Structure formats: structure tokens, C-alpha cells
Amino acid sequence: MITIVGSGRVGATTAFALLLHEVDTQITLIDVIKGLPQGEAVDLNHAAAILGLGTRVKGSNDYADMQGSDIVIVTAGLARKPGMTREQLAAQNAKIVADVAEQIKKYAPDSIVIITTNPLDAMVTVLYKKLKFPRNRVIGFSGILDSSRLAYYSSLLVNISPTSIVPVVLGQHGENMYPVPELSYVYGKPLTEFLTKEQYEQVVKQTIGAGAEIINLRGFSSNWGPAAGLLKMVEAIKRDRKEVIEASVYLDGEYGVKDVFVEVPVVLGKNGVEKVIELNLNPTQKELFMKSVEAVKNNLKQVPPEFLQ
């Protein structure tokens, strides 16, 4: 069973994506708002009936209904509004994530947990500290979205399918993320060989600002991209694909970093994070990566200490 905590746009869209791909026979939506997850479940089950799908969705306000889940996706939390940065949500969302962690620990102690709540790297840290699960079972979502955005914006300029680009974005999921076109490849050839200097700068800027652009255009944050990314991550785990996907994970010496969650490429399989892929960074790249890591550490200072113990 897959449980999604939070039945807002990201949670409901993710449920639909998982339903379409029949990743599991049972999806449970949990939310504190009375009627919301139940209503989404009814609508999703109608969609499944129309499409002839075997997955069933249950909506609940009771965390006990996550019992038996092997994967829990946490989308609960306050979303960004126009003009806000992800980092500004730290103190507000820390309590929500800490409360959810206590429920997961109680009812789904053997699950692999993926979180989307912003500011992502800080909130997955709160989740990890409160759950006290092994690091392979606590995963921050963001990397697959940021790297895919880099591939998408690059594809528009070089006229190559984004699926033919292996993109790399490291560090923070936020204003200080580190897109790395020179470590991104098109069939063995560096992406930078396809881009002019101006295009390189444009792609980096667009990748960093993609989330804010969506919010400014429609008034609320992205949900389709996150749902697609969560689908790929869950499929990699449930189907033991050993797929290399970028995610925000706990580093314990990799890249010379300890006790910090940041975006890096990892292998996802039935055990969650099965390996951290360490890229060979030159001194300049290492400096920029560490600058992004420091941004995560600074954001953690905005989280009340009781949520990091």
C-alpha cells in the first residue's frame, strides 16, 4: 500500500499518476481536513472505473489507516505564494512535518518515506531527525524535478528531446541550487558543447526560477511536475529498478559533506536509496556545490531547534 499524507494539489495529482500506472493496488489519502481526502478518493475511484484500472483509493482523516504502507509520501504543509521563497516556509512547516513524522513512526515504522514539503532540504531533515529511520528510507523529492527542468529548458535551445539529456543539478532545492550543464550529457557529449555562453546562463537562470515562474503565472505552486517525479521515484522503489534519479538525501561523508540533506544522484531500488553517486567535481564545481550546501545549513537555522532533535 502507498499512503499520501496531504490531499491538496500535489497529493491528489500524485494519487492520479500512481493510479494511472497501477503502481499499487491500494492508495490511501490522508488529510486533516474533513471530507477532502474522502472526496478525492471517490472521484479517483470513478476515474479508475472509467479507465478499467485495478487500483483502489481510500480517503481518511485517521493516520491509523496508513498501517501496512511500504511507501509514505508526505505532501502536507503550507505552499508558496507569489513573491515567497521556499526558505520562508521553514518555521511554519517544521511543526507540520514533525507531527506527521510521529504518526508515520507509530503506524508505518517499516516504510520508505518521500517528502515534497518546502523548504525541501530543511523539511526532510526534520523528518529524518523525528523518524529516526535509516537514511536510505528517508528521501527528499526535489532533485528529479530540478534536473528535469534543466533538461527541458536545454532541449528548447538545442532541439534535442529532453529524454536524451542526462541533466545534473546539485545542492539545495531553492534559490541557491546549483545547475551544472557542464556535467550534463547528450550521449556522452557535454551539454555545454551544444550551448553558447548566453544560452548556458539562460538555462541556469530558468532552472533556478522555474518554480517561481509557475507561481507568478497561475498563483500557486507546481503540482504536475512533482506528481510525475514522485511517480518515477515510487516506481523505481516498488519495481526495484535500480534507477539513477536525483534526490535530496542525507550525506555521511560523500562529497566531503556530513549530516546534511542535499540534491545528488542516487540509485533507487526496493530498499530506497541504495547508493549515492559521487560525481567528480573540479575545484570550481566543488566550491559552488559547497556554497549551495551552506545555503541549506543557513536555512536550517530558521527551523526551531526542537524540530531538529
- Cross-strand partners of 4: 29, 73
For residue 91 the three cell numbers come to 518555521
CA distances from 187 to 2, 8, 244 (A): 35, 38, 16
* CA gap 233, 17 in Å, rounded: 12
Task: Please tell me the distance from the alpha carbon of residue 148 to that of residue 233, in angstroms, as a whole number.
Answer: 13
Contact by Cβ (8 Å): 57, 41: yes
Cα–Cα distance, 210 to 153 (Å, whole number): 10
Residues with a known catalytic role = 173
Q: How far is CA 159 from the centre of its chain?
A: 27
Which residue reads 539513477 in cell numbers?
A: 244
